[in-house]
Structure 1
C-alpha cells in the first residue's frame, strides 16, 4: 500500500522518564509511521524499546506515570488529549508479559471480553472469534482453560484477542519470544497478510533479527533511548560495526556476506538477509567452474567444526559415570488436557548440555517439570541422582536441580538483585556472608546492578537475575526453560557461555529453547519431541541435518545448517556439514581461490 502524506503515528522530540530522578528511557525520539508500513524495532535490553511501544500504544501517558516531553500524534491527534479507549480503537498492542494481559480463564472468553467492551454486535461475535483464532492457528484451543496452555499458546491467544478488535495499527512487543520457529514464522505470516491484505500498520519489537529482516520494510535500531540507525533491512544490516558496538545481532547469512565483502569477494553495503540470497551470492562467488570434491584444487568435504568459541565439542561420558537424570517409560497427562508426555526414555549425564526442541505444546516444559519434581509421573519413573522423584519431597529434589522458568517474574521475590541471587544459597543453609560473597561474584560476571530492585529492571535483565540465582547454587542439574527469551545478543552470549561453563564443571544442563541458532551453538546433543513423544536423539549437527525429522517436528534448522546443505547440493560437497559462519566463509574463500582469510572482526563478536 502506498503511504499517504499524513503519518498514522508521529512522534515529535519525545522524551520520557519513569520518575523525576530516573534516567530518560526515551530521549529525543522523532519518527513517523506511515499507514500500511511494516516496521521492526531492535536494540539491546534497556534501550527503550518497550517504553517506545508503550508511547505508541498510548499506555504512556494514560497508564504509566512519569516525566513526558514532546508530542505523539495518532491520526493527527495528540495522545495526551485522547482517552486510552479512543487510542485502542486505532492502535492494538500485545505486551511482553502475556499473563498480565490475560483477563479471562478460558480462551473464548479472553477474545469475548474485548469484543463486548468495544460494543461489537452480538451476531458478529462468533464469526469474529473463529476468524481470529484461525488466523493464528489455535482454533482447537477455543474451549481450553488458559492456565493449561504453554507459554507459546498463551502468546497466540493474546495476538488473536487483539486481532479480533480489528485495529488499524498493531504494536507487538516481542510477540514470538515464547514461540517455536515454525510458529514464529506463522505469526509473522499472519502479520504480513494483515499488513498487505487489510492495510494494517504493523510495528514489531523483536530479538529474532532474521525474521524481522525478511518481513519488515523498515528497521529502527534503538540504543540508550534514541534511534541509532534507521532504514531498510539491507541498509541497517550493512552497518556491521555500528551494530556490533551497540550489541545487536545480525542474521547469520548477513555475517557471511559481510565477511565476504571484507575479503573483497562481494560489494560492501548489500548484505544477504536469507538463505536463498546467500546461496546465490556464494554460487556466483565460487563460479560454475569451481572444482568439485576430489578434483585438483578442491577443498575436502568438511567435518563438523568444534574449534569455534561456541561450537560444542562432544565429550565422552565420564568414566563409569551414572546418568544424573533418567526417565524410564515416563507418562503424564494433565487432568484438564494439556501438553502431556508419553513413554519418555531419557538419560542425561554429568557435564552434558542437552537441548530439547519441538513445536509449542509438545510437552517440553512438562518434561522439565518432571525433572524438578513439580510434576510426578503417572507411570514410569524419574530418577535424579539415583533417587526416584516419587519417593522424596520437592525440597529434596531442589538440592540437586535448579530451574529457570520461562517467566523470570515467577521466581523473583527480593528487594535487591544481591539478595535475590543470594536467596537460594541461604535456603540451602549457606551462611549469609558466604552467600552474599558468592552472589556478588555471579552478579559481576553477569554485569547486573547489585543494589537495584529486580522488578525495576528490563525484562531481559530480570531474566539474567533469575538465571544468576540458579547458577550461583552450582547444582548437579540445571533445567532451563527458554533461557534466552527476552535477552539481547550480548546478554544471550553471557548467559549461554555461563551455562556452558557450568556444564564443563560437571553440571548436567537440560535446555528447552526455540532459538535454533543458540541450540546449534551450545547444545552438544538434542532430544526432538512431537506430540508428547521423543522422536529422536543425537548429536546436534546430525539431528539438524535430518530434513525429514525437522519437518516432522516442525523445527526450522539454523540458517547456516540450511545454507550448508543447499550449497553442498548445488555448489560443492565441500560445504557439507558446516555449522559455523566461519566455516562457510573459509570454504567459499578457498573455492574462490582467494588468499587465506585473516581474523574476522565479525566473528570476534562471538568470542
Structure 2
C-alpha cells in the first residue's frame, strides 16, 4: 500500500489543535483481494463447511461449525489466541481429522476440489504437506539427507534423492546433508521438517508457527522460501502465525479464529487494522500499526475504520509524509521534544556475579568421531539483579549455555560457577532446587497425566510448604484453570508453553532459565509471562532468557549477550547492541520493526516501543508548531 499524504489544515497553528492539522488516513491496501464472481469448487485449495469436532474425552468441541475457503495459489494466515482451534482446523486438510483423531465429527471438507471423505491420510498427504508445531516429532530418520528423501522414497518416486536435495537447497540447509538429526539445533530441525514436507512437492503446504524457533535471519529465509514456492510454483501456502509482521510482509489474507469458529477472512492489510478484534483475542498488530494508531490517538483522530500502515515500507512513507508536511508548513524539520529511553532498567552499580564462565568449553564427539565445538573458551559473568537476554543465530550455543548453568551438561574444559559454587561438584538435583530451567520443547517437562499434577509435581516431591496453594496460584497466573484436568501432551502448543512456564515459576527459584519462552504464545500470555517475571524479581536473583524474540528483548532485558559460533560476540545494553549493525548482521539478528522504522526516519536513539515512537513524532509536531506560533510575539517575562 502507498499511503496518501496527510492533509494539512491552516485553521489553527497551536499545539492543542494538532488533530485538525494532520489527517492520518491512508488508502485501502494494494494487497486487497480482487472482487470476482463466486468461484467454483475447483478453484479452492481447501474448503471447510460447518465442521464441528471434539477430541476424544473432551466435553467441549474444539471446532464449532467452522467454515473456511482458501483459493488455490493463495498465501493465507490463520490467526487467533492460544487454544482457539487453529491447529485442529488445519489437521482437517490432510485427513488427520477425522481419520487419525477419531473424535466427534460433523461437517464437510474438500481438498483441491474433491471431498476429503473416504480419502485417507496417505492419499491426502501427497497433496497437502504439513510442518507441525511439534516438528521434532516428525523427524524420523538419522541424517539430514535421509530425512529429506524419506517421504518421496516411501511413495516409490524414482527421483526421490533429487527431490530431497532440492528441498534442502530451498531451505538453505544443504550443507548439513550428512549431519545427524540429533546434532542439529532446534531451528535447524525446524528447517529440516520444512524440507521434508517440501520434498513431495505438494499442492498445499501448511506450516504451523513457521518461525517459532528460528533466529530472525532464518525466519526471514523460511518465509522467503514459502513466498518463492507460492509465486514461482503456485503452491498454496497456509501458515498458523502469531507474528503479525510476517503476516503483513508475506500473506495475502488472514483468517481469524475465535472459540472454534472462523470469525472473518480478510485481505491482510484490512485484517491487521481490525485492532479491536486483535486486541480482544490477544494478537499483537505490527508495531508500526500500533505506532500509527497511537499517534492518531494523540492527535485526537482515533478511528476504528482507519487504515494504518502494516509494513515498515508503508510506515516509512506514512510517517515521512507527516513530517514532510510539517516541515513544509513551518519551514523547519523541527526538533524532538525529548530523546528515547533504552529498554529495561539500569542494572545494579556494584553487581556480584550469580553465574560465572571461566574459559569454559563444551564439545562432543560425533558418531564419526569428529569433534564438534559448541562453546569455545567462554569468559562471562552474569550478575545478580540483571535481566539477561541471550541471543544469536540458530546453533550459536544458547541452549547449551543454559544447560551448563542447570547442570544438565558438563563443561569439557574450564569452569562454571553457579551461586558461588563450582557446578562440577553439584548434582543436578541440588542445582535444580535453586535453579529452574524451562525447556525449549515444553513436552520435555511433562511426566504426569493432568496439568495440575504437572505443576504440583516438584512442589510435592520436595515437600515445599503450601504446595497445593502455590500450584493453584500458578494455574490462575497462567490461565490454566480450565485445563487443570487435561493431559498437557494433548494441549495446543501455546497452552503447553504456559504449562511449562507455570512448572518453572512454581518453585520460586533463585535463578530462572527460559529457553524460547514466548514461542507459540499469543499476546495475552506473552504479557502474563513478563508480568510473572516481574513478580518473581523479589526472590529470583537472576533471569536468563535465550530468545529470538527481539520485542521481548526490547521490552524486558537490561543486558543482551550475543553468541556467535560458540563465543561472545557482543555484550551490553539493548540499545547499544542493536546500534551495532555489523554485529546484528553477523549474529543473524534483526532490529524490531519499530527500531528499523526509527532508523529509516532518522530518529536517534532508536525508539524502544510503538508508544515511544508515536510520542516522539507527536513531540516533533507540537514543538515545531510552538516555535512558529510564538515567533511573532514578544516573550513574556
Structure 2: gaps spanning 5 or more residues: 1-32, 626-637
Secondary structure (helix, strand or coil) at the match of 2:513 reads strand
How far residue 127 of structure 1 moved from its aligned partner, in angstroms, is: 2.1
The equivalent of 1:335 in structure 2 is: 365
Alpha-carbon distance change, 60 to 354 in structure 1, aligned in 2, over 3 angstroms: same
- Aligned counterparts of 1:82 and 1:451: Cα–Cα separation in 2: 34
1:376-418: per-residue Cα shift (whole Å, max 9, x none)? 1111110001111112221122122110001111011122322
Q: 1:430 to 1:504 in 2, by over 3 A?
A: closer
Structure 2 partner of 1:253: 288
Distance 1:397 1:168 in 2: 50
Distance 1:186 1:389 in 2: 38
Q: Say which SS state the counterpart of residue 93 (structure 2) adopts.
A: helix
2:115 paired residue number: 78
State the match for 2:256 in structure 1: 221
Q: Where do residues 277-296 of structure 1 align in structure 2 (5 Å cutoff)?
A: 277-287=314-324, 290=327
Q: Matches of 1:12 and 1:418 in 2, distance apart? A: 36
User: Aligned residue for 2:53?
Assistant: 16
1:324 matched residue in structure 2: 354
1:34 to 71, 89, 102: 71
CA distance in 1, matches of 2:52, 2:580: 50
2:548 aligned residue (478, 501, 514):
514
8 Å contact kept, 2:509–2:539: no
Residue 339 of structure 1 deviates from its aligned partner by 6.6
Distance 1:71 1:473, change over 3 A: same
Tell me if 1:46 matches 2:83. yes
Distance 2:447 2:227 in 1: 40
Moved more, 280-289 or 209-218: 280-289
Counterpart position of 1:308: none
Deviates more, 1:582-591 or 1:530-539: 582-591
3-state SS of 2:288 partner: helix
Equivalent residue in structure 1 for 2:507, among 473, 479, 496? 473
CA contact (8 A) 1:291 1:297 kept: no
Correspondence list, 1:182-581, <5 A: 182-262=217-297, 263=299, 268-287=305-324, 290=327, 298-300=335-337, 302-304=339-341, 311-317=343-349, 321-336=351-366, 340-430=374-464, 434-449=466-481, 450-568=484-602, 573=603, 576-581=605-610
> How far does the alpha carbon of each residue in 1:192-228 deviate from its partner, in whole angstroms, 9 at most, with x for none?
0000000000000011111011100011111101112
Segment drifting more, 492-501 vs 511-520: 492-501
Structure 1 gap segments, 5+ residues each: 306-310, 597-607
Once the two structures are TM-superposed, the CA of residue 466 in structure 1 deviates from its matched residue by 1.2
- Distance, in Å, in 2 between the alignment partners of 1:330 and 1:20 is 50
Q: Does 1:588 align with 2:617?
A: yes
2:62 is paired with a residue of what secondary structure? strand
Structure 1's 289 and 85: CA in aligned 2 closer, same or farther, altered over 3 A? same
SS in 2 for 1:57: coil
How far 1:110 sits from its partner (Å)? 1.3
The Cα shift of 1:304 comes to 1.3
- Report if aligned partners of 1:526, 1:543 keep a CA contact under 8 Å in 2: yes
CA contact (8 A) 1:42 1:220 kept: yes
Shift of 1:456: 3.6
CA distance in 2, matches of 1:195, 1:563: 28
Q: CA deviation at 1:289?
A: 5.1
The normalised TM-score by structure 2 is: 0.87
2: CA distance, partners of 1:468 / 1:54:
28
Residue pair 1:148, 1:338 contacting (<8 A) in 2 also: no
How far residue 256 of structure 1 moved from its aligned partner, in angstroms, is 1.1
Distance of aligned partners of 1:69 and 1:349 in 2 relative to their CA distance in 1, 3 Å threshold = same
- Asked if the contact 1:238/1:258 (under 8 Å) is kept, the reply is no
8 A contact 1:61–1:68 mirrored in 2: yes
Q: Offset of 1:185 from its aligned partner? A: 0.8
Contact 1:15 1:26 in 2 (8 A): yes
Distance 2:551 2:460 in 1: 36
Q: Do the aligned residues in 2 keep the contact of 1:150 with 1:339 (CA within 8 Å)?
A: no
Write the distance in 1 (CA, Å) between the matches of 2:609 and 2:51.
42
CA contact (8 A) 2:337 2:619 kept: no
Equivalenced residues, count: 579
* Partners of 1:227 and 1:11 in 2: CA distance: 10
CA pair 79-344 structure 1, distance change in 2 beyond 3 A? same
Q: Which has the larger radius of gyration?
A: 2
SS of residue matched to 1:269: coil
| Aligned position for 2:125 | 88
- TM-score, normalised by the number of residues in structure 1: 0.91
Of the three residues 122, 142, 145, the one matched with 1:108 is 145
Of 193, 198, 204, 1:169 maps to 204
Rounded Cα–Cα distance in structure 1 between residues aligned with 2:615 and 2:149: 56
Does the aligned pair in 2 maintain the 1:20–1:67 contact within 8 Å? no
Counterpart Cα distance in 2 of 1:126 and 1:414: 42
- Shift, 1:291, TM fit: 9.9
How far is 1:334 from its partner?
A: 2.1
Deviation at 1:149, TM superposition (A): 1.2
Using a 3 Å threshold, how does the CA distance of structure 1 residues 371 and 20 change in structure 2: closer, same or farther?
A: closer
Distance (Å, rounded) in 1 between the aligned partners of 2:262 and 2:76: 13
How far has the Cα of 1:126 moved from its partner?
2.8
Deviations 1:131-159 (A, max 9, x none): 11111111121111111211111111111
Distance in 1 of aligned mates of 2:275 and 2:287: 12
How far apart are the structure 1 equivalents of 2:300 and 2:265? 26
| Deviation for aligned residue 1:22 | 2.3
Q: Secondary structure at the match of 1:8?
A: strand
Change (3 A) 1:289 1:438: closer
In the alignment, the residues of structure 2 paired with residue 339 and residue 235 of structure 1 have an alpha-carbon distance, to the nearest angstrom, of: 48
Q: Confirm or deny: 8 A CA contact 1:350 1:503 kept in the other structure.
A: no
Q: Do the aligned partners of residues 422 and 595 (structure 1) sit closer, same or farther apart at CA in structure 2, a change above 3 Å counting?
A: farther
Q: Distance in 2 between matches of 1:246 and 1:98?
A: 25
Q: How far off its partner does 1:35 sit? A: 0.9
- Seen in structure 2, the aligned counterparts of structure 1 residues 338 and 196 have a Cα distance that, compared at 3 Å, is farther
Q: 2:177 aligns with which of 138, 142, 160?
A: 142
